[in-house]
Amino acid sequence: MKKLLLLVVAVIFISSNAIAQTAPKEADPKDVASLDAIMKAVYDVISGDAGKVRDWDRFRSLFHKDARLIPSGKNSQTGILGARVMTPEDYAKNSGPYLEKNGFHEREISRHVDQYGNIAQVFSTYASFHKSDDKDPFMRGINSFQLFNDGKRWWVITIYWQQESPENLIPKEFLKGSK
């Protein structure tokens, strides 16, 4: 009986220790205190020159546990329009190596916000650069953020985006108030 009790205690200790180690990092309160703060934090955490390791724990801390990232657009090989749904973890694993190898700076150049109560929909027009001092972007597009405030902080629920293309230019109303 003592061995069984000892085994149960050991399993509980190991399980609780494993759960504690995999619990997501708490967000820095400054990153999630306002709509402006969380938007700035998202752009900041994915941006950096080639060779700069991103803080993926900080990235994950900005997202709700059920959050999704959804790139959309036309497949360059097939010409078919589509969208792919990812978790923040999928994004970090799949896009992280590219961002860190090639350098990637995404800057918000314009924003349109609609907010009702604790939810916000933000159309955030972006420009992407390989280096922080690049003058001309290699890509532009619109990130559609859906955000939620639980009364304590802001959470990213969804980022759904599409790159600009020659046949689908960013409308002027989403370039107003460019930053």
Q: pLDDT per residue over 57-76, tens digit each?
A: 999 999 999 999 999 998 88
- The domains found in the chain, sorted by start residue, are 29-174 (3.10.450.50)
The confidence score (pLDDT) of residue 176 equals 80
Bridge partners of 106, per DSSP, are: 128
Report the DSSP pairing between strands 63-74 and 154-163: parallel
Helix, strand or coil for residue 19? helix
The pLDDT of residue 105 is 97
| Two tokens, residue 66 | 């059920």
Mean pLDDT by groups of 10 residues along the chain of 179 residues: 43 42 78 98 97 97 98 90 96 96 97 97 98 96 98 98 95 79
Name 104's bridge partners.
Answer: 48
The pLDDT value given to residue 141: 98
Please state the pTM of the whole predicted model: 0.84
Model pLDDT, residue 177: 64
User: What is the pLDDT at residue 11?
Assistant: 40
Distances (CA, A) of 11 to 14, 17, 52, 158: 5, 10, 39, 37
CB 99 within 8 A of CB 48: yes
Burial 91-128 (b: 16+ CB within 10 A, else e): bbeebeeebbeebbbbebbbbeeeeeeeebebbbbbbb
Which pLDDT belongs to residue 98? Answer: 94
Q: Cβ(53)–Cβ(179) under 8 Å?
A: no
